Amino acid sequence: MATTALVPISKTVVLRDASLRPTQETYDPLQEAYDYFNGRLFQDSLPNCLVTLKRHGRSYGYFVGDRYGRADGRVSDEIAMNPMYFHTRSLTETLSTLVHEMVHLWQHHHGKPGRPPYHNRQWAEQMKEIGLYPSDTGAAGGKETGDRMSHYILPSGPFAAACAGLERRGFEIVWGEIAPAKPEGSGGEPTPGKTETKSGKRPKYTCPDCGANAWARHEAKLGCFEHESAVLMLLS
């Protein structure tokens, strides 16, 4: 029989149910969404990858090719999703981040990515083809290519139609971070607004692959030459 306990979290009372399976309930839907959009938007041309949850500050998600390896020598790409924003953005917006990173994965296997962290014209055109319009501001009129890129959803595009079909099936992402902690970093698809620190000191950037550190001005465009797929993440 399941047991329950009242656990205070962030000045709220949450009912904790021992019968819950948060890991399964989180990652199964992400795999379901990945498979669904792979079929609807990419003609099942993408290999499976490891979808992870990582809090990385002012970024909704990012992609790294060949990030994980298995004992038998096989490798997997990574798409990281930031759970800080699962409860503050709509389901459609969250899924658009997943698909944004799937375009990076598509280009990694079938195209020619720009030098990290540059989002080139091929990436931008593929985004448009699936119904996500590239924009460095996340809104109409922004630059379509660059180092830090977001997008906005085309209402009549393929992504919007596919996402509506998935939601009609009752799809949900039920788990997300309750209260965002202090931002830890950024990379991949940025959230709107400039990155600033209160101290005014030079921020620290870190390679997510090897942990190499660098200190530079705010909004510096940095990459790791040893790990060409890595964009240095800003640690605030």
pLDDT reported for residue 53? 96
What is the rounded CA–CA span in Å between residue 179 and residue 110? Answer: 38
Give me the residue label for tokens 């919007």: 160
Q: pLDDT tens track of the chain, all 236 residues? A: 454 444 444 555 566 788 899 999 999 999 999 999 999 999 999 999 999 999 877 799 999 999 999 999 999 999 999 999 999 999 999 999 999 999 999 999 999 999 988 999 999 999 999 999 999 999 999 999 999 999 999 999 999 999 999 999 999 999 999 864 454 433 467 666 544 444 556 676 777 666 677 777 665 666 665 555 455 554 43
Residue 148: other Cβ atoms inside 10 A: 20
pLDDT reported for residue 229? 45
Residues 6+ apart with CB under 8 A from 155: none
pLDDT reported for residue 217? 65
Q: Where are the domains of the chain?
A: 21-194
Give me the residue label for tokens 């600033």: 196
Q: Which of 77, 86, 67, 57 is nearest to 189 (CA)?
A: 57
pLDDT reported for residue 15? 66
Helix (H) / strand (E) containing 16: strand 12-17
pLDDT reported for residue 214? 77
What is the rounded CA–CA span in Å between residue 55 and residue 232? Answer: 15
Tokens coding 214: 């660098």
For 69, list phi and psi in degrees, rounded to 5.
Answer: -130, 150
